[in-house]
Structure 1
Amino acid sequence: MVARSVLLDPIRVGTATLKSRIVMGSMHTGLEHHPERFDELGRFYAERAKGGAGLIVTGGFAPNFAGRMKNEPGTFERSDQVADHKKITGPVRAAGGRILLQILHAGRYGYHPAVVAPSPIKSPINRDVPAEMTDEQIEETIGNYATTARLAMEAGYDGVEIMGSEGYLVSEFLAPRTNHRTDRWGGFLENRGRFPISVVKAVRAAIGDGLISYRISALELVEGGLTQDETLWLAKEVEKAGADCISTGIGWHEAAVPTIAGPVPHAAFIDSTRRLKGVVKIPVTASNRINLPEDAAQIIAEGSADLVSMARPLLADAEFVNKVGRGRPDLVNVCIACNQACLDHYFTDQVISCLVNPRAVRENEFSDAPATSAKRVAVVGAGVAGMAAALEAGRRGHHVTLFESAPRIGGQFALAAVIPGKEDYGLSLKSYEAQLAEAGVEVKTGTVVDAEVLKRENFDEVVVSSGVSPRLIDIPGGDDPRVVGYTDILTGKVKAGERVVVIGGGGIGHDVALFLAMETNGRRQTREEFFERWGIEGKPKHQPARRQITMVKRSPGAFGRTLGKSTGWILRQELKDLKVRQIAEAKYRKVDSEGLHIALPEGDEVLPADTIVVCAGQESDRAIADVIAANGQTVHVIGGARLAGELDAKRAIYEGAILGNRM
């Protein structure tokens, strides 16, 4: 008998009893600005409610025009908006869930000309200088919070979360960094804290016994932010003002410290949450880089928090809690903290989804009904596209065989798992293995299959997801044994020398440079190492690179422009601190005993090298598809086999999933 997880223990928060300790944390989906699509948002949240989340918190809605995140609708301030919000709350309540509306005033983080703040101090991540709020505007804004909270209750929400962390308006009032006022709203901590405390009191008066969660920065990570002692004082005052729960956030968005990306160790900031929990009596919610059931359970069991907020992990798997309840945490589709389809989408004005779960926020595109007839399906290649296709087809009831020539599934994902900061890709593959087995997919690794075998076995559908082959370099000396492909380096087939030249400035080139510079051999960075590296409790300390590495590319301009919008800066900073040299606008002349000869606008140069790693793109490996088609079988080509280009796991997984689901 499987022991019951503490994550399934109910908990009393205010007047409500939550069915589990997992909270679907607030995350902007990009639909908050589109009331005509609130039915999609409702279904998205309802799936998480059905999946066992004890509480759901929406993406932020502004209490007034100036508080919007972007220069488009995104407020909840009028009674005629209540009906639209019922499209969100109705499905969640029907699924047995509870949901809070997050009230978020962006302050100087708003991307529009009407931004306001306590003081007219420009944010380093925004182009506009905010207008300083008058005393009258501050009082009016407090009233706006109360109005939004009242409307939320009318719309069927269980209450609200007041966004008081991560550098938005409430943070800006609290921090000396952004509050230079000399009136009753600035100066001493009690004055700077007047705004958030007034907001909580006004909201409590407006919603009676509705739930109030207050999101607090447990650790600011910016100069001029609140100290730990000031944060503890604030938590106690917020509790006195009427909050039912405190939800912890980490850092401001302008902080030069990663807080939710892959390089951050699991539950790295839990000590700050634990300290905060020690000074209040109301429940406290932990967050930030908690993506595994065992980590969440440990946090609850050891008393570091009462609840655990998971936004991206529940994006990756709506059934997270239910799988834990079934005693099958191995089936949880692990969030890899890549941010490629969630945060990066939001920051580029796209509706979010999830790289490892393309169903997220696309629930209407997929069917859970059994297929009308079970087909025999062959999937050739178990990279991410093939795995996704096989999994969806298997879940619809088809008889699926997944062929893979390598010893294990994963393809490029398996290579990525050895990159420092991408260790969770390996956990994702373990989850895929368990999910494929549960879906009844027959996985044949170490198996090379040809078109004749597929024809003889008489499969109804054949999916070719055979991936890519790294492109070689066609210059004199390109066949020198020192010239190797990135796959040979990442699989350990070739051990790099002390002086390495990496050819290619795309994502793979950056990853390979980091892999060779750090050489962690798959070991995840510890919390202590991470704190030291980023100077969280002192000055940053950088470890020297293990090798002398030079990156070189043909195109002009800075390196890393194609990296992730929200994570690329981390990798660029890592390579800078490791003193990796980067050379752009180079023409590759030849390789000889001296090294790689290149021509630059300012003249020729020779780069001495013991190893030259080629990361200059890849080509589709799809020859088998043409033979299959010639044999008269239906064939579908997906992923890298269909389009190589810059490898795109997000596209590949979506292609595979939608194909498998629609067979």
Structure 2
Amino acid sequence: MQKYKRLFEPVKIGSLELKNRFAMAPMGPLGLADAEGGFNQRGIDYYTARARGGTGLIITGVTFVDNEVEEHGMPNCPCSTHNPVHFIRTSREMTERIHAYNSKIFLQLSGGFGRVTIPTNLGEYPPVAPSPIQHRWLDKTCRELTKEEIRSIVKKFGEGAFHAKRAGFDGVQIHAVHEGYLLDQFAISFFNQRTDEYGGSLENRLRFAREVVEEIKERCGKDFPVALRYSPKSFIKDWREGALPGEVFEEKGRDIPEGIEAAKLLVAYGYDALDIDVGSYDAWWWSHPPMYQEKGLYIPYAKIIKEVVDVPILCAGRMDNPDLALSAVEEGACDIVSMGRPLLADPDYVNKLRSGNIASIRPCLSCQEGCMGRIQEYSAINCAVNPATSREREAALIPALKSKKVLIVGGGVAGCEAARVLALRGHKPVIYEKSGRLGGNLLAAGVPDFKEDDLALVAWYEHTLKELDVEIKFNTEVTPALVKENGADTVIIATGSKPKLFNLGDNSKVFTAAEVLLGNADAGSEVVVVGGGLVGCELALWLARKNKKVTIVEILDRLLALNGPLCHANSEMLERLIPYNGIEVLTSSKVIKTTEKGVLVDVNGKEREIKADSIVLAVGYNSVNDLYEALKYELADIHLIGDARNVANIMYAVWDAYEVAANL
């Protein structure tokens, strides 16, 4: 597409030329390794799919060079030093396939997590760090690394890069003087309290990172590209405490002046490119930005570093808007646009943009349900809106042996996904939707400005189903008689869910979250939100930013207690945004009844009247499955999917639909 032609110009990292300015940011490779630390078939297919989709540079997710100083419970991730011959053999298959698409690939090499090791990945092994400091997640003190262990890890970096080069990788990215990982812990004085040559001055604190690049260049040659993931600012207020956007605070981690100086030194040491972000595990919502962060949030920081170093700058961080990406390049903030989650949602993003087919790009929601949330909980990477992510071969759609007429009841996300998959396979789906629009509960959920991508997903389904010529019957209430008369071969019930309600006496000012979000009810200026789950908290945040006085009443002892597994970046940022935006929170509390002034609340056993213009219920949803119950003994081939089966989230609605529709 001519408008975005600049993004498709070749660009170099050292002597290596990339065919365009797009990189896949490191995502994975948990679940993508085999028992001997090679890439399994899923991993090979996963990364190759993004190369086939047009991405110029693939950067694998983290692989560890060391499994002795900091044991990582092999084989969570591939490892180039565990069984080098096997690693080279499996990686060669992947790199050769990626090169067939004229794409390049870097192996991301890590020295370890140190104090930020995710507990599910830690096992029984003690966490390590530059100094005896507090672990990020566990109430443990980390063990200080010895100089011999540091030198051992440096040697392992050289070995790992050498094996990567033999395996056909075009370069490596070092993980990382960013996000508070082990190398970053050495670089930041808040974490590094050493008095030897690896502590004290900035040069000493960067010595570990310097020795790594020097070792790799010694083993692999000066022309072998070595990039570095780098954060010029940490956003650390204190141990386990991060700062919010716009918050005034004293930086305890690395701040911009030192970030600039460190960048200059790192480039002088031999790093060929810097991949810029900001944040730390103590402020994880910067490193893994949820929907509450602005798009392109790293661009200002990339520009600061771009102006002081003479190597290519990569910039990620919600860069899926092509106009934003183009402006970042044209304004000199970065040389390469890096995307992680958007390429999980749509591996063909780059080719679709190049050919002008923007409307067909499946949007990333920044929900982190399928990617970081599942990495955090299950050591597996997937995607909420793309069920084929990291299982491209197993989930490949196979043309139907016989085309079936399929009646789908409900045009929410589950019904739309089922129709899409069925149409792609050659079936003839028809959607019956009782309202005048597709989208179901997403239409209300997408109203807050920070949830714009929910509505983008609805628009994508509308476009895609039109392209596939799927018939949709709007404003049609489906009855058992209609289904029986239809004569469909298969019936899919995707009738979704409806908000839970309860009687508070005078219900004239009691509304559901959906009614308020869609503008069907006026919440007034003082609002009590009943329910502190995800819906309630996001509603409260949206109302507070509209200058409403908001109180959340939650019956449990904390917010977001029943939602999960939410990625910590999402849940922790939202939890902090609530008080930051002046929202009062009453936990272990329940509403009793409405009053003339507002509502009576039981707060830890004591009654309190709260002035309110409205009481908005956000206490969950009930499945709508009456039609299924009426038909389940009448029809041979009937399926219940999405919220109608079990109230969950967008991810499980999409995954349910994909599983059923892919196998009809």
Instruction: Select 1:288's aligned residue among 311, 317, 327.
Output: 317
Residue number in structure 2 paired with 1:533? none
CA distance in structure 1 between the aligned counterparts of 2:152 and 2:307, rounded to whole angstroms: 34
**Which SS does the other structure have where 2:150 is aligned?**
helix
Structure 2: tracts of 5 or more residues without a match: 237-250
CA distance in structure 2 between the aligned counterparts of 1:15 and 1:77, rounded to whole angstroms: 24
Opposite residue 662 of structure 2, the aligned amino acid is N
Residue number in structure 2 paired with 1:272? 301
Displacement of 1:599 in angstroms is 4.0
Residue number in structure 2 paired with 1:538? none
Mapped pair 1:135 → 2:160: no
Alignment of 1:517-532 (within 5 A): 517-519=544-546
C-alpha contact (below 8 Å) 1:506/1:562 kept by paired residues: yes
Mapped pair 1:333 → 2:336: no
Displacement of 1:498 in angstroms is 2.7
CA distance in structure 2 between the aligned counterparts of 1:331 and 1:88, rounded to whole angstroms: 32
CA distance in structure 1 between the aligned counterparts of 2:70 and 2:148, rounded to whole angstroms: 19
**Which SS does the other structure have where 1:285 is aligned?**
strand
CA distance in structure 1 between the aligned counterparts of 2:542 and 2:139, rounded to whole angstroms: 35
Residue number in structure 1 paired with 2:179? 166
CA distance in structure 2 between the aligned counterparts of 1:226 and 1:601, rounded to whole angstroms: 42
Opposite residue 215 of structure 1, the aligned amino acid is R
Displacement of 1:126 in angstroms is 4.2
Instruction: Select 2:57's aligned residue among 40, 48, 55.
Output: 55
Opposite residue 42 of structure 1, the aligned amino acid is I
**Which SS does the other structure have where 2:498 is aligned?**
strand
Displacement of 1:429 in angstroms is 2.0
Mapped pair 1:550 → 2:563: no
Mapped pair 1:498 → 2:537: no
Opposite residue 402 of structure 2, the aligned amino acid is S
Residue number in structure 2 paired with 1:527? none
Cα distance per residue 1:124-155 (max 9 Å; x no partner): 44433222223332222211111111122233
Give the direction of change, closer, same or farther, for the CA distance of 1:599–1:115 in structure 2 (3 Å limit).
closer
Mapped pair 1:193 → 2:200: no
Displacement of 1:633 in angstroms is 6.4
Identity of aligned residues (%): 30
Cα distance per residue 1:490-537 (max 9 Å; x no partner): 111001123322222322222222222223xxxxxxxxxxxxxxxxxx
Cα distance per residue 1:98-145 (max 9 Å; x no partner): 222111121222344433322222244443322222333222221111
Residue number in structure 2 paired with 1:658? 659
Cα distance per residue 1:220-263 (max 9 Å; x no partner): 32334334343333333333433332211221121276451111
Residue number in structure 2 paired with 1:98? 104
Give the direction of change, closer, same or farther, for the CA distance of 1:221–1:604 in structure 2 (3 Å limit).
closer
Mapped pair 1:108 → 2:122: no
Displacement of 1:420 in angstroms is 4.7
CA distance in structure 2 between the aligned counterparts of 1:443 and 1:69, rounded to whole angstroms: 54
Alignment of 1:22-171 (within 5 A): 22-31=22-31, 34-35=34-35, 38-65=40-67, 68=70, 70-73=72-75, 74=77, 76=79, 78=81, 80-84=83-87, 86-95=89-98, 96=100, 97-105=103-111, 106-110=113-117, 111=119, 112=122, 113-164=125-176, 165-171=178-184
Residue number in structure 1 paired with 2:626? 623
**Which SS does the other structure have where 1:35 is aligned?**
coil
Residue number in structure 2 paired with 1:541? none
**Which SS does the other structure have where 2:308 is aligned?**
coil
Alignment of 1:239-638 (within 5 A): 239-255=267-283, 258-259=286-287, 260-474=289-503, 477=505, 480-519=507-546, 546-555=547-556, 557-563=557-563, 564-566=566-568, 567-586=570-589, 588-629=591-632, 632=635, 634-638=637-641
Cα distance per residue 1:536-576 (max 9 Å; x no partner): xxxxxxxxxx2332222334x22222342321111111112
Give the direction of change, closer, same or farther, for the CA distance of 1:616–1:269 in structure 2 (3 Å limit).
same
**Which SS does the other structure have where 2:60 is aligned?**
strand
C-alpha contact (below 8 Å) 2:499/2:618 kept by paired residues: yes
Residue number in structure 2 paired with 1:11? 11
Cα distance per residue 1:593-631 (max 9 Å; x no partner): 354334455333333332111222222222233445566
Opposite residue 218 of structure 1, the aligned amino acid is P
Alignment of 1:228-243 (within 5 A): 228-243=256-271
C-alpha contact (below 8 Å) 2:530/2:591 kept by paired residues: no
C-alpha contact (below 8 Å) 2:313/2:336 kept by paired residues: yes
Displacement of 1:328 in angstroms is 0.5
Give the direction of change, closer, same or farther, for the CA distance of 1:389–1:67 in structure 2 (3 Å limit).
farther
User: TM-score under structure 2 normalisation?
Assistant: 0.89
Aligned length: 632
Moved more, 398-407 or 408-417: 398-407
Displacement of 1:71 in angstroms is 4.8
CA distance in structure 1 between the aligned counterparts of 2:51 and 2:80, rounded to whole angstroms: 26
C-alpha contact (below 8 Å) 1:467/1:641 kept by paired residues: yes
Give the direction of change, closer, same or farther, for the CA distance of 1:244–1:256 in structure 2 (3 Å limit).
closer
CA distance in structure 2 between the aligned counterparts of 1:419 and 1:179, rounded to whole angstroms: 41
Q: Superposition RMSD on alpha carbons, in Å?
A: 2.6
CA distance in structure 2 between the aligned counterparts of 1:344 and 1:464, rounded to whole angstroms: 28
Give the direction of change, closer, same or farther, for the CA distance of 1:412–1:70 in structure 2 (3 Å limit).
farther
Residue number in structure 2 paired with 1:179? 192
CA distance in structure 1 between the aligned counterparts of 2:106 and 2:638, rounded to whole angstroms: 47
C-alpha contact (below 8 Å) 2:625/2:645 kept by paired residues: yes
Give the direction of change, closer, same or farther, for the CA distance of 1:587–1:182 in structure 2 (3 Å limit).
closer
Give the direction of change, closer, same or farther, for the CA distance of 1:275–1:553 in structure 2 (3 Å limit).
closer
C-alpha contact (below 8 Å) 1:117/1:133 kept by paired residues: yes
C-alpha contact (below 8 Å) 2:202/2:262 kept by paired residues: no
Opposite residue 220 of structure 1, the aligned amino acid is S
Cα distance per residue 1:328-386 (max 9 Å; x no partner): 11211111111111111111124121111121112233223322222222222121111
CA distance in structure 1 between the aligned counterparts of 2:498 and 2:390, rounded to whole angstroms: 33
Give the direction of change, closer, same or farther, for the CA distance of 1:88–1:455 in structure 2 (3 Å limit).
farther
Displacement of 1:307 in angstroms is 0.8
Instruction: Select 2:228's aligned residue among 194, 214, 226.
Output: 214
Cα distance per residue 1:439-467 (max 9 Å; x no partner): 33233444444444444443322222111
Give the direction of change, closer, same or farther, for the CA distance of 1:575–1:240 in structure 2 (3 Å limit).
closer
Displacement of 1:489 in angstroms is 1.0
Opposite residue 213 of structure 2, the aligned amino acid is V
Moved more, 110-119 or 199-208: 110-119
Cα distance per residue 1:395-424 (max 9 Å; x no partner): 212222223233322111221111352222
C-alpha contact (below 8 Å) 1:45/1:92 kept by paired residues: no
Opposite residue 319 of structure 1, the aligned amino acid is D
C-alpha contact (below 8 Å) 2:388/2:396 kept by paired residues: no
Displacement of 1:312 in angstroms is 0.7
CA distance in structure 1 between the aligned counterparts of 2:619 and 2:254, rounded to whole angstroms: 46
